[in-house]
Structure 1
Amino acid sequence: MTSLILWLLDRIKPLIRLVGADYGQLRAIVQVKLTMDNRRSSVGLGRYGKAKTESNNNFTRILITYTIVGSIISASMLLIPDQDRLFFPLTLQFSYVMALCAMTLISDFSSVILDSSDNQIILPRPVDSRTLWLARIVHITSYLFGIALSLSAGGVLVIAYRFGPIAGLVFLAMSLLSAVLMVFLTNIFYLMLMRFISEEKLREVINYFQIVMAILFYGSYQVLPRLVGQDVLTQALDHQWWHYLIPPMWMAGTVDSVAQPILDSTHLVFIALALIMPFGGLWFMNRFLTTGFTQKLSAIDTESRPESFGATSRRTQPDQTSLLTLVSDWFTTNSLERAAFAFTWRITGRDRKFKLKTYPQLGFGLAYVVAMSFQRDSFGSSGFFYLFALYFAGLYVMVAQYQLGISDNYRASWIYGSAPIKTPGDVLSGSMKALIIKLLLPFYCLLACYILYRYGLDKISDVLLAFSNSLVMLLCTSLLSIRFMPFSVAPDALKQNNTARGLLTSLILAVVGFSHYGLTILPYGTWVALPFSIITFWILLRQYQKTTWERIEMG
């Protein structure tokens, strides 16, 4: 792929020189960036890939997946409407392309856009900021073009088959321009954040934005298809003035004008916006934003120095420590367990990758339950769906526990062996308690509020029993699986155990869930079973706390 991108880059050499960049330097920088990408793991939306050999094919596998999913979506939307009712389905298609490009920029490439190491390594050399900035844009856009092409491949074939090859080529061109437009809008988004948020908070805000966008993206995927039926896709949409403010509608209007064909004033405005805004945005960034963006990145690097971080820690540490000390005193029994509780509590709040892999999964669980409960004439409308929702959410809870053993800084786990720790089970139990109190309890509170609101307050016993049983399942899988110290294993090391762990979790989930359903038939069955479930959880936790070094596998 690197050779193909460099070959295409050679074809637009005059254009690069026209905007004031040094082509030789730009080509060398892009080549190095693409080479380094083959050694980088992809983290977007909770994914993580292997470095070295597997990462070379990681992006290709993602493109194949996007091609299959994009073709299915394109066929379902673009094969239905008549020729004069194509505008709204095209808008949905381009919205999907733009949303996924923006998600990729914010998730996988936020570290690339905000990487200040280029400034320290390259700018002291005779390389101007414009060349460096344009190399960064070319690097990112090359990947977005691949994503846009894969998402639009099915749509190109459908449009070309129904309305001719010219319409298909216009659809392809608009998809690529959508990627260019997302590069411009994302850079504007980052600059606005840099203007109103201090540099030391920027990366944290972006991390939470990634989490929120991932949840919204998945939630929209679950909810919107159930709200937008086939009758909506086949309706003609009257053009309104506010359509000129929606970028996907610019692209949809341009393709619609060729597919019908029609060339009125409304479609001419859409064509002008679709062609001018992406290139105009790049020119605007190149002319006015390059220097400011580079200076902001330098400020980020300055604010990230240990002195500033230490000062910030001293300012924020007392309040956090007092709350953490109070909570740990309530739920732990000895000093070692208390230390593990505090350690896990802090790491789960600071590790960006942990939050990016764990928090969206919990949000996905809530989004799935809400979407399924509103679906009529399906399993979501059955009388016992709330039980399925309570236990199915337990699968997402397992993800958080699974992530407890994983860390990119796993080499620091030598401290466990050098410290005078005689009972590693206290570390495991303290870490588990921190996970339950900080993540699982709030998650189940949100889920319980929705279940009680949706199905009635009489389901309180089912909610309490399901929560206690979920904790039992969590400890069962922990006791039956290989045990690792917190944050002591490389991400790739646990992949080989995924299949066995998944089967084990599903089996335990099925047994406990059907047992709970049987208890609902008996009068006061759930209330009677609740104390036994709590006692079982306490016994399993004590057993987990007795883990010896012989049962621990160090990463």
Structure 2
Amino acid sequence: MQDFRTLKLLDRFEKVFSTFGIDYKIMRKILQVKLMMDRRRVPTIFTQNAKKNQEEDKNQYIKSLWIYVLFGLFMVPFMLMGENYLFQMSLFFGIFTFFVMTSMISDFSSVLLDIRDRNILFPKPVDRKSISAAKAVHIFIYISFLTIALVTIPLLVGLVIHGPLFLLVTIFNIILIDIFVVVLTALIYMFVLKFFDGEKLKDIINYVQIGLSLAIMVGYQLLVRSFEFIDLTVALEPRWWQGFIFPMWYGANIELVMNGHLVPFYVSLSLLGILIPLISIWLYTRLLPAFEQNLQKLSYHGKAKVKKRSKLGGAILTFICTSNEEKAFFRFASLMMKNERDFKLKVYPSLGFSIVIPFIFIMNGFNTDLSNLSTSKSYLTIYFSLIIIPTVMVMLKYSGKYKGAWIYKVTPIKQLKPMFSGTIKAFLVKLFFPLYILLSLIMIALFGVRILPDLITVFINACTYCVICFMILNKSIPFSASFDTANQNSNSGILFMLMLFVPVFAGLHFVSTLIPFGSFIYLLVAFIVLLIVWKPAFNLTWEKISD
């Protein structure tokens, strides 16, 4: 079995693991197997390639990280803002935490909550603390890859501008943030597992993830608003609640080291930045046995609840779907999106972001003066809720039960159109529409009933946007691919390009509001465009479907 470089690097910290009562040799062997298995999870896009050499196998995850290198470029300006380290580095660490936390929630929560290790290793004479530690370190390895991709370029710029001391302190802070994010997520799940079980627990975990996503966005806004700009200078007035904004802990840390400002407030924040991650690790190791025991609750499925179909729901379904085949796929996709835990782990957090983002732009545009809000056109920020659509469209092809996809080819399906149109309608009705209704009600409360035609137009454009994403993305049978390939897909560039359609829709909508009755004209045009693109988009044959 291959000895990975990451494991050789990990060997230098053997005494650290032993200090926490972890059998390092057992943990290392488990990690070695996990990393070997990760190499075998080759994305479907590469399965058609006849040349499957070793170098190609081990670099699939690395290939998907280039988008984070691009995001890292947006963090470079914070290295060039002068020497107000508390301000610029708090923002830097805030953005960094945003990317790491969202990746942890969407990509690695399923690893943290994986219970398959219990079935294989628990009957063996293996220390359970070592099993849990291997799971956590497994996550840390991939979080480290993501971190390196994200911060390498900004740190090189910081080294040139601010010197090696700045580089060393920043790297130290980044390591602490990575540790804190992973352990904090685990501790939150521990708390949830303590009080809930069965199917309710799985739903609660999804709600916790949405809450974490919202907390990240709100916390970042609090971070920005902690500072005031006075005559082109940045001022901070200490407040007690700023101690809960942990990116500021590390901004204060660098302020102390680089500028030597031994202010009690800065010292307190710096101590929090060091002590809290260490305390959280100690808590995590102490609570590991209870955590592993409570994880067993995830294997309890409970009794299936049989819901009676209401006449109203049947009437709505008949109105939405034009054929019995489309109704069948609509119901099937709805059940998959509702019951597929891995799907919800990856998709639901993004729903939380889409709720908050429009209002963040409104707050940033008006700051504290909301007197002219009701007469403005800021309601068009609701278009930013559409940015989740490309991601969800990609995720619709994944499932934890993907091996059952053979059923598609043995059923008497005459056309593929009902399969895809029914699935996309299920996403729009079951996931996007409730979210959009909530946003619309808030927008109407802020801007008045006058924007109702505009809100209808935005939803029509959202439907058109779904069709455009479907036409551009690779065509795959819904819920037919393994989630193991989701982290390694090569869709990052396509998703980034598809998101550019959102400002195009918003720009055209804004232009239409500048002419008399323009909103109603744009509504009619949007509806006609939807009718034109919808019908031919789903006329596909099996030959056009990727395996």
Give the TM interval when normalised to the shorter protein: 0.7 to 0.9
Q: CA deviation at 1:258?
A: 1.9
Aligned residues of 1:78 and 1:158 also touching (Cα < 8 A): yes
Query: Which moved further from structure 2: 219-228 or 457-466?
Result: 219-228
What letter corresponds to residue 81 of structure 2 in structure 1? I
Aligned residues of 2:461 and 2:505 also touching (Cα < 8 A): no
Aligned residues of 1:341 and 1:433 also touching (Cα < 8 A): yes
Residue number in structure 2 paired with 1:342: 331
Secondary structure in structure 1 of the residue aligned to 2:29: helix
Alignment of 1:335-484 (within 5 A): 335-355=324-344, 369-371=358-360, 397=389, 400=392, 404=396, 407=399, 409-422=401-414, 424-446=416-438, 448-449=440-441, 457-465=449-457, 467-468=459-460, 471=463
What CA distance in whole angstroms lies between the structure 2 residues aligned with 1:503 and 1:372? 21
Query: Which moved further from structure 2: 25-34 or 129-138?
Result: 129-138
What CA distance in whole angstroms lies between the structure 2 residues aligned with 1:497 and 1:65? 10
Aligned residues of 2:387 and 2:502 also touching (Cα < 8 A): no
Aligned residues of 1:257 and 1:267 also touching (Cα < 8 A): yes
- Please tell me whether residue 298 in structure 1 is matched to residue 287 in structure 2: no
Query: Which moved further from structure 2: 105-114 or 135-144?
Result: 135-144
What CA distance in whole angstroms lies between the structure 2 residues aligned with 1:515 and 1:395? 16
Q: CA deviation at 1:185?
A: 2.2
Residue number in structure 2 paired with 1:281: 280
Aligned residues of 1:71 and 1:153 also touching (Cα < 8 A): no
Aligned residues of 1:226 and 1:375 also touching (Cα < 8 A): no
Q: Deviations over 1:56-85 (max 9, x none)?
A: 334435655545544642x43354354xx4
Contiguous gaps of at least 5 residues in structure 2: 367-372
Alignment of 1:148-547 (within 5 A): 148-153=147-152, 156-157=155-156, 164-211=163-210, 213-214=212-213, 217=216, 234-239=233-238, 246-263=245-262, 269-270=268-269, 272-286=271-285, 288-301=286-299, 303=300, 309=301, 311-313=302-304, 316-318=305-307, 325=314, 327-332=316-321, 334-355=323-344, 369-371=358-360, 397=389, 400=392, 404=396, 407=399, 409-422=401-414, 424-446=416-438, 448-449=440-441, 457-465=449-457, 467-468=459-460, 471=463, 486-488=478-480, 521=515
Q: CA deviation at 1:25?
A: 1.6
What letter corresponds to residue 126 of structure 2 in structure 1? V
Aligned residues of 1:468 and 1:533 also touching (Cα < 8 A): yes
Secondary structure in structure 2 of the residue aligned to 1:37: helix
Larger radius of gyration: 1
Secondary structure in structure 2 of the residue aligned to 1:109: helix
CA 227–326 in structure 1, closer or farther in 2 if over 3 Å, else same: farther
- Please tell me whether residue 57 in structure 1 is matched to residue 79 in structure 2: no
CA 229–2 in structure 1, closer or farther in 2 if over 3 Å, else same: farther
Q: CA deviation at 1:347?
A: 1.7
CA 256–465 in structure 1, closer or farther in 2 if over 3 Å, else same: closer
Residue number in structure 1 paired with 2:31: 30
What CA distance in whole angstroms lies between the structure 2 residues aligned with 1:344 and 1:403? 12
Aligned residues of 1:219 and 1:364 also touching (Cα < 8 A): no
Q: Specify which structure has the bigger relative contact order, considering alpha-carbon pairs within 8 angstroms and separated by 6 or more residues.
A: 2
Secondary structure in structure 2 of the residue aligned to 1:235: strand
What CA distance in whole angstroms lies between the structure 1 residues aligned with 2:283 and 2:408? 53
CA 465–2 in structure 1, closer or farther in 2 if over 3 Å, else same: same
Q: CA deviation at 1:189?
A: 1.1
What CA distance in whole angstroms lies between the structure 1 residues aligned with 2:335 and 2:211? 21
Query: Which moved further from structure 2: 329-338 or 18-27?
Result: 329-338
Residue number in structure 2 paired with 1:80: 81
Residue number in structure 2 paired with 1:137: 136
Contiguous gaps of at least 5 residues in structure 1: 43-47, 304-308
Residue number in structure 1 paired with 2:370: none
Q: Deviations over 1:473-527 (max 9, x none)?
A: 756887899976644567889x8999999999989997998699679846x5765
TM-score by length of 1: 0.73
Q: CA deviation at 1:457?
A: 3.6
Aligned residues of 2:115 and 2:295 also touching (Cα < 8 A): yes
What CA distance in whole angstroms lies between the structure 1 residues aligned with 2:208 and 2:531? 37
How well do the aligned residues superpose, as a CA RMSD in angstroms? 5.1
Q: Deviations over 1:233-259 (max 9, x none)?
A: 943435555555554444333332221
Residue number in structure 2 paired with 1:121: 120
Aligned residues of 1:106 and 1:210 also touching (Cα < 8 A): yes
Residue number in structure 2 paired with 1:306: none
Aligned residues of 2:226 and 2:242 also touching (Cα < 8 A): no
Q: CA deviation at 1:128?
A: 1.3
TM-score by length of 2: 0.74
What CA distance in whole angstroms lies between the structure 2 residues aligned with 1:72 and 1:362? 24
Larger relative helix fraction: 1
Name the count of aligned residue pairs. 531
